[in-house]
Chains A and B, each alone.
Chain A
């Protein structure tokens, strides 16, 4: 500890910080000291004997070794913010100190690490966040080796599809999908026709998923998100911004029928009633008319109160909202 207090930045101090951090990775001041030590070592010994190439090799080795030191810690403490932060700092140092192609190699490896973490725990908050940060870095001009910069939106979108296919109940994956779609459509230069097709495919996907797991809230939240495409309030963010009122109504009617079909044999699923009410209100907002079967709207709110007493306050608010 003395060498840390005395601000010594040597290989010995580095080893000492390793020892301390292995037993307590939350000790953030030690991580900071390790950063200072690394920066000192990056500069090399005081003499100017070393060639640029030696410097470069020394930095690559220091960073590789340090990344390797962190791996067992991440496995042992996957939820410790400080380790993830330190790792990102190290990678940013590689961007700052090394030729682009070299730094890019380091960042590229991290995608595999994030993938591994998420295969162990598909909802790990840090894992998803880390993956997003790494992708952002790889897409940035600082790490770009070509023009135009390679977007990874398609690849990442495909990754969310894979994650969803292996487990529908992955809210993190659905969320990520919602963030990638607008970018993806823009980058594809999708025209209105292509946008409609894309939306139709998403609607098919979520319908299949809902049939498989009608009690799964992740799916219903994503369904609600897709329904925003038909809500003038969210039109600005719509996947198909040029939908006419008529087309919106048709989509709503289609979804209404599909959701209502689910009710058959699944009468105790509150999400179905909730969605039917939501769609009815959407339709009302668009055309000032309730859908044909909407005399049931009040009955559905009663079902919500029966099936979901925990949120009675919410359903009562909805009821008085419908009365006004």
Chain B
């Protein structure tokens, strides 16, 4: 999956919104399908360090758009497995080192296409070992998680671990209460959460912390009204959402802010119609894809988070998304009820 930006740009006519704002579903599907054919572009190779994330973003977008068959299943499995190491972890692409971020994407992709058992059948390491790789990144004293053996610690990695291990039914491999205590230590006066204890609240980190607490069944720890208030103030007069006070709007925050609001049952605290219009203004209706804001280059990252945001807003024709996992709700329900 290419993360090359463009070729198109998101709509540029911020002031002149057409009466009928439609989601260009077919063109978005074509855009995502075309991404892997752009290997003649330098940027394709400059974004290789994100390839497995890119497959997850593209695949999830296709599922939410109602085209689950949009990427060839066998080739997808082959590619995912080609990124695996004997340790159980996955790198961004073949030959890249294992890291939490790509291991989580690998698990999410395999879960989405119902192919987790391929790990035991054909992987360089089986399901249990993938779980052990992730569990091995937990600091048993603080409860936090590192991204890889070099030790960078961030609540993103803790959430990734909760996300992937719960999909694999292997949460028992980690110390959940300690991890929960760590998340709680990252809470701030505004009700939000940061990358580590002491760090400023940031909508992306709030998603990861609230998501981890949701998976652990500990949303009782969240100061819902205070957090909801802060998150609702992310909406700007143009309808878009930012990630911190006094920052610019960006389509990807449609996901981080809204999914957090959904998890604490405060989604109604922002204006869904205005946000819908903002996201739709960021799409390239002719060539497909969604940009961070109107007039910028489209890319698959903003495409999936724009579509997932629209799904949370119950946009007609889209599959329902799970606000915790950013995967189709039907799929997470099936896996988690097992």
Contact = CB atoms under 8 A, between A and B. Distances in A.
Given A176-B200, A228-B189, A311-B271, A218 B49 contact: no
Contact of A128 (B99, B200, B266, B270): B200
Nearest to A318: B225
A310 B47 CA distance: 37
Contact of A217 (B95, B148, B189, B245): B245
Interface residues of A, number: 37
Contacts of B201: 175
A132 B199 contact: yes
B189 A28 contact: no
B178 interface: no
Nearest to B50: A26
Given A28-B49, A312-B271, 6 more contacts: A5-B95, A28-B99, A32-B150, A178-B189, A217-B245, A221-B189
Contacts of B235: 310-311
B246 A179 contact: no
A28 B89 CA distance: 15
B66 interface: no
A123 interface: yes
B51 to A, nearest CB: 12
A69 interface: no
B196 to A, nearest CB: 8
B280 to A, nearest CB: 17
A311 to B, nearest CB: 5
9 contacts: A26-B47, A29-B91, A123-B244, A123-B246, A129-B196, A225-B190, A310-B237, A310-B274, A314-B269
Interface in A105-128: 123, 125, 128
A258 B201 CA distance: 28
A26 B188 CA distance: 30
* Interface SS majority for chain B: loop
B246 A169 contact: yes
Contacts of A309: 271
B338 interface: no
B97 interface: yes
Interface of B: 46-50, 91-92, 95-97, 99, 148, 150-152, 188-190, 195-196, 198-202, 226, 228-230, 232-233, 235, 237, 244-247, 266, 268-271, 274
B323 to A, nearest CB: 17
Contact of B247 (A24, A123, A313, A317): A123
B89 to A, nearest CB: 12
Contacts of B50: 26
Nearest to B228: A314
Nearest to B268: A313
Contacts of A129: 195-196, 199-200
Given A175-B201, A179-B198, A314-B269, A29 B188 contact: no
B270 A313 contact: yes
Interface string A169-197: 10110011011000000000000000000
A311 B232 contact: yes
A320 to B, nearest CB: 12
Contacts of A310: 232, 235, 237, 270-271, 274
